[in-house]
Amino acid sequence: MAQGPTHSLARLGNELVNQAGEYARLMRLDRPVGTWLLLWPTLWGLWIAGAGRPEPVNFLVFVAGVFVMRSAGCVINDFADRDIDSEVERTQSRPLAAGRVTPAEALTLFAVLGLVALALLLLLNPLARLLAVGAAVLTLVYPFSKRWLAAPQFLLGAAFGWGIPMAFAAELEAVPRLAWLLWLDVVVWAVIYDTMYAMADRDEDLRIGVKSTAILFGTADLFIIFLLQVVLVIGLLLAGREAGLGIWYQAGVAVGALLLASHLWQIRGRDPEACLGAFRANQHFGAAIFAGILLDYTFRSVS
C-alpha cells in the first residue's frame, strides 16, 4: 500500500525531532553540570564588579552567553575527540562518536552558535568585546591540546574563568587586579575538578595517548588535589578581602571548603564513578561561593 503525504510528513517530522535531539545531546543540554561550572564564576565576577547590582543587560547577555559558549565548546570538543571517544567505553555513545551526527553537521552547529555569541557581544562595550577574542581562542584551542599538552586542564580553567575579566570589563570598562585574582582562582578550581573527571578515564587515556593532569600527577594525585584546594580557598579569601567582602562571603567560602573536603574524601579510593560524582558535585561549591557574595551585598545594602 502506498504511503500518503500525511504519513510522509509525520515520518519527516519524527526524523527532524530525533536529529534535533542528537544536536541537543551534542551540546550537552541533557548534562548541565558544565553549564553550572561555567555560570557560577561568571556570576561571581558580575556581582563583584557591579557591587551587588550588575547591569540587567549585562546579566542577561552573560547568562545567555554561558549557555551558548558552553554548547559551542562541547560541540567543538566532540568534533576534535570524535575518533578518541569511539575508543572509550564511557564516551562511545556520544552523537559524533556513534555516527548519529556527521562532522559537517557538527561544524555547522558550531558556526551557528558562534554567530549567536557574536550577536550577544554586540550588546557589550568595546573592551568586553575585545576580551571575547581570548574566550574564542581558548574555546578552539583547548579540545586539541589534550594531544600535546601534559596539563590541558589549565587551558580549560583559563576558558572557564574568562567570563570574570569580561564581566569586569562590561561593568567597569576596566579589568582590575581583583578580576585576574578571581580568574586565577577559577583556573585552580578547574584543574581540581577536571583532574577528578580525568581520573575516571585514566586507564583509557593512557592506552590511547590522551594527556591529562590525572596522568601527570600519577599516584600523587590526591595530595596535589588537596594542595590545590588549599590554594583555592586562600585565593578566594584574598579576593574577598580585595573586594571588601565580609562575614557572609567568608561563610560561603567556609561552606565551600567543607564541600571540597567531602569531594576529596569521596575520591580517596579512585573509583571512577566516585570521581565522576565528585566532579559533578563541584557545581555546589560554585553555588556556595556565589551565595556568600549575594548575601554579603544584600545585607550590606539593607544595613
Q: Is residue 266 part of a domain?
A: yes
* Residue 240: per-residue pLDDT: 97
The CATH number assigned to the domain holding 165 equals 1.10.357.140
HEC profile for the chain?
CCCCHHHHHHHHHHHHHHHHHHHHHHCCCCCCHHHHHHHHHHHHHHHHHCCCCCCHHHHHHHHHHHHHHHHHHHHHHHHHCHHHHCCCHHHCCCCCCCCCCCHHHHHHHHHHHHHHHHHHHCCCCHHHHHHHHHHHHHHHHHHHHCCCCCCCHHHHHHHHCCHHHHHHHHHHCCCCHHHHHHHHHHHHHHHHHHHHHHHCCHHHHHHHCCCCHHHHHHHHHHHHHHHHHHHHHHHHHHHHHHHCCCHHHHHHHHHHHHHHHHHHHHCCCCCHHHHHHHHHHHHHHHHHHHHHHHHHHHHHHHC
* Residue 105: per-residue pLDDT: 93
Q: Is residue 9 part of a domain?
A: no
Q: How many domains does the chain have?
A: 1
Q: Is residue 85 part of a domain?
A: yes
The one-letter code for the residue type at 118 is L
* Residue 1: per-residue pLDDT: 46
Q: Which domain holds residue 40?
A: 15-298
Q: Is residue 237 part of a domain?
A: yes
> Could you tell me the pTM of the whole model?
0.92
Q: Is residue 185 part of a domain?
A: yes
Q: Is residue 176 part of a domain?
A: yes
- The residues, ordered by sequence, that sit 6+ positions from 16 with a Cβ below 8 Å of its Cβ are none
* Residue 210: per-residue pLDDT: 87
* Residue 267: per-residue pLDDT: 98
CB 34 within 8 A of CB 42: no
Question: How far is the C-alpha of 50 from the C-alpha of 131, rounded, in Å?
Answer: 18
pLDDT, mean of each 10-residue run, the chain (303 residues): 61 75 90 95 98 96 96 91 79 85 92 95 96 92 88 95 97 97 98 96 87 95 98 98 97 98 98 97 98 95 54
Q: Is residue 209 part of a domain?
A: yes
Of 12, 154, 103, nearest in space to 4 by CA? 12
Q: Is residue 160 part of a domain?
A: yes
* Residue 9: per-residue pLDDT: 66
